[in-house]
Amino acid sequence: MPTSIVLEQSFDFLHMVWMLPKGWGKSHGRNRHGQDGRKLCPRQEISDADAKDAALLEGIMRLDTLSVPDKRRRLVQELAPRLTDGYLFVQRDMLNRIFRAALGRRRVGRDVDEDDRVVSSHAQLKGRMQNWHKAQKTSCGLPKRVSRAKRLMSWSLEHVSRLLRSPIYLGSSSQKLRSRKATARKRYIIRDAIYWVPLIMITMGVRPEEILQAAVPDVVRRGGILCLFVGDEEDAVLKNEQSRRVLPIPQILLDLGFREWVVAKSRSGETWLFPDIQPDRPHGRRSQIFGDRLRNLFKTLKLQDPREDIYAMRRTLSSKLMGLGIDTGTRQRILGHLEGTTVDKHYSDHGLLELKDLLDSVDYGIDVGHDRGFAFPIIVGTRTALQAALDVDVALSDQREVSAVQLRDAETDEIVFEATISGRKAPSTFPWNECGALEEKDVAARIISLVDDILVLRDLHLEAGATPEDIRQLLAHARTAIEGLLHCVRQIAQAWRAHRSQTTEIGANSVPSLQVRAKVSYAYSPFAANHSTTACAAWLRFGPRIANM
DNA sequence: TCGCATAAAATGAGAATGGA
DNA sequence: TCCATTCTCATTTTATGCGA
C-alpha cells in the first residue's frame, strides 16, 4: 500500500527530529534584529553529535575501573542532550497540520484509520518511540542517547536558604551589580522587585506576573489585616476590586518592613509597586523581563538549578503547607485561592485572618534584625530547618509489589542504597541490573539505619555546639522520618495498585523534616521509566494527603 | 485521544553599563 | 581601558491545559 510508505517516511522524519541535539535550533544566531546568523544543516548537526557521542561511549566503556552506575552517570552528564519526547509530539502535531493543509481533512484527521495515516497518531508514535528507546541502549543497558527533561519541583529549603543568604538580601557591594558580595565599607540592600518578588512568591505562592503588575493602591488594610489585591488581567489597576482576589500579607513580610516600604512608595507618588519592571514590548508581559533578570542574577550567584527554577519557588509554599499537616480540603482551598482558581474569590475578614495564620505557620527560618546602616529591618540570617532530600526509585513487579529500591542523595545524585527484594521478579535493565538481592526485612532495616545516618549527619553539620541531648533529640526526630519513609514506600505500591497512570503526591503525616522524592517504574515496561513526569512518576512529599488521585 | 493553545524556561547575541 | 556583569530581545524548547 503506497500510503504505508508515506507513514514510514513520516516516522523516519520524526526519528530524525528526535535525534536532533537539544540546542541545534538555538545556535543559528538569528535572534536579534537584522542578524544574518548562520545556516545549520540538521543532518550535519545530528551526525556531529552522533560521532561525538559514539567516541564518548567508546571511551567510557573502555574504563574497566568504573562501575556500571558510574559509567551511566558520566554518560547522562556528558552525552549531547537531544530533544525531549514531549517536544517530539509537538513536532508531530505541526507536521500533522502541514499535511492537513496540503491534503485536506479527509486524508489527515483524527478519524483516519491507523493504516491509512500519513502522519502517525499519538498512540502510534508512542509505540514506535518505545522501539527507538530500546535501540538507543547498549547491550548492558547503558544509554546511547539522552535528553534533559525538565522535572518540575519545589525549591528545597537549602535552596531557599542559599537564596536568602545571597547578596540580594545580605547586601551587595554595588547598587547595580547585585551579585557582588558586600564589603565592610560598602553594603547596599536594594528593595525592588528582585528583593521582594522571590520573598512574596515563597510566602504567598502567587505567580510573578500577578505580583509584578500590582499597583501601590492594591495594598490595603482590611479588618486590621494588610492585604494585597491581585488580578491576572492587564490594566489590573482599572479593574474593580470585586473581580480580584485578596490575599493577606504574611507576617514575615511585615516584619521586613513591607508596609512601611509601601507607605513610602505611596508618599512619593508612585503608581506601581515595582516600576523597574515594565512590560516587554512583544507580549506586554512583565514576567519575561523579570524572569530574564532574575535568571541572569541567579546564574552569576550560582543559584540556578535545572530542577528548581524560578517558577518552582511558588510550589515551595504548597509543599510546605502539605508538610504542616493541613488537611486536603483546606489546603486545596488555600492553594486554589492563592492561585485564583476557586469560585469563592472572597474571604471574609475572619477568613483572611485564618489564611494569614496559615501562611504564617510556614517557617522558612528567616531571622529579621536591624543594622545601623539601614533604616529598615533586614534579614540577618537563616535558621534552616534542615531538610534532607532523597530521591527514591521503586520498581514494581507485575504483581505490583515492590521488587527493588534505590535511594539517591538528591543533591549529589550519589546512590546511597540499592537492593532488589529476593524472591520477586525485579527488572534486569538499568539501573536495577547491578543491585544485590536482600530479604524484604533487611531492606527495611538498612533503609532505616541509612536515613538515620543521613539526617543525623546533616544535622551534625549545622550544629556546632550540639549537646548529647541534642543528638538524642535528633535521633528521635530521625526515627519519625524513617517511619514516614517506610510508610511512603508502602503507599507508593498501594497508590500504584489503585491508580497506575496518574501523578501522585503521597505523604505521611507530621514529618516535616525529610523530603522524599520518588519515582516508580514498572519492571515490565522499560519505556515507561523514561516518562518520569507523566505516565509513571510519583513525587512523594510528606504530608497528609494523596493528591490528584 | 487528539489538536490546538499558552506559559514560561532556555539559549545566544549584542549593546550598555559598572568597577577596578 | 579592560573585563565582567547586566539588560534586552528574538527565537526555540519544554511542559501542560482545555475542549471536542
Q: Is the CB of A422 under 7 A from strand C?
A: no
Q: Is the CB of A32 under 7 A from strand C?
A: yes
Task: Measure the CA–CA gap between A547 and A313, rounded to whole angstroms.
Answer: 20
CA of A116 to C1' of C11 (A): 35
Residues 6 or more apart from A510 whose CB is under 8 A from it? A325, A480, A544
Burial class (CB in 10 A: 0-12, 13-18, 19+), A50: middle
- In angstroms, the CA A80 to CA A132 distance is 17
Shortest CA–C1' contact from A25: which nucleotide? C12
Protein-proximal positions, strand B, CB < 7 A: 1-14, 17-20
A33 touches strand B (CB under 7 A): no
Give the pLDDT of residue A177: 92
Backbone angles phi, psi at A384, to 5 degrees: -80, 120
The residues near A191 (Cβ < 8 Å, ≥ 6 apart) are A261, A376
Provide the residue ranges of all domains of chain A, joining segments of one domain with +.
Answer: 2-28+36-147, 157-382, 388-540
Query: Is the CB of A177 less than 7 A from some atom of nucleic acid strand B?
Result: yes
Q: Tell me if the pTM is above 0.75.
A: no
Residue A81: helix, strand or coil by DSSP? strand
A29 touches strand C (CB under 7 A): no
Tell me the residue type at A185: R
A311 touches strand B (CB under 7 A): yes
Residue with cell 485564618: A354
**Dihedral class, residue A446 (left if φ above 0, else alpha if ψ from -120 to 50, else beta):** alpha
Nearest to A133, CA basis, from A149, A110, A119: A149
**In tens digits, what is the pLDDT along chain A, a chain of 549 residues?**
555 778 999 999 999 999 999 988 888 877 776 677 788 889 999 999 999 999 999 999 888 877 777 788 788 888 999 999 999 999 999 999 999 999 888 888 888 888 889 999 999 999 999 999 999 988 888 889 999 888 666 787 778 888 888 999 999 999 889 999 888 888 999 999 999 999 998 888 887 877 888 888 889 898 889 988 876 444 544 444 445 677 889 999 999 999 999 999 999 988 888 888 877 766 667 778 898 899 999 999 988 887 788 888 877 777 677 666 666 556 655 665 565 544 344 556 667 888 888 888 888 888 899 988 899 999 987 775 444 455 666 666 655 566 777 766 554 455 667 777 777 766 665 556 566 777 766 676 666 556 555 554 444 333 334 444 554 454 454 444 444 455 555 554 444 444 333 322 333 222 222 334 443 333 222 222 222 222 222 222 222 222 222
| Count of Cβ atoms closer than 10 Å to residue A397 Cβ | 20
Fold of A157-382: hpI Integrase; Chain A (1.10.443)
- Assign 3-state DSSP to chain A and report helix, strand, coil percentages, each to 5: 45, 15, 40
d(CA A312, CA A150): 11
> Is the separation of the CB atoms in A169 and A378 below 8 Å?
yes
- What is the pLDDT at residue A77? 84
CA of A22 to C1' of C12 (A): 9
Considering all nucleic acid strands, name the nucleotide whose C1' atom is nearest to the C-alpha of residue A93: B3
The SS3 of residue A110 is: coil
Element (H, E) at A378: strand A378-382
Q: What are phi and psi of A82, to 5 degrees?
A: -105, 175
For residue A199, give the nearest of A299, A369, A316 by alpha carbon: A316
Q: How far does the CA of A26 sit from the C1' of C4, in Å?
A: 24
What's at A251, amino acid-wise? Answer: Q
d(CA A461, CA A453): 12
Q: Secondary structure of A222-251 in the HEC alphabet?
A: ECCEEEEEECCCCCHHHCCHHHCEEEECCH
Q: In this complex, which residue's CA is closest to the C1' atom of nucleotide C10?
A: A31
The answer to whether the beta carbon of residue A31 comes closer than 7 angstroms to any atom of strand B is yes
- Å from the A23 CA to the B10 C1': 9
**Which pLDDT does position A136 carry in this prediction?**
92
Protein A302 CA to nucleic acid C8 C1', in Å? 21
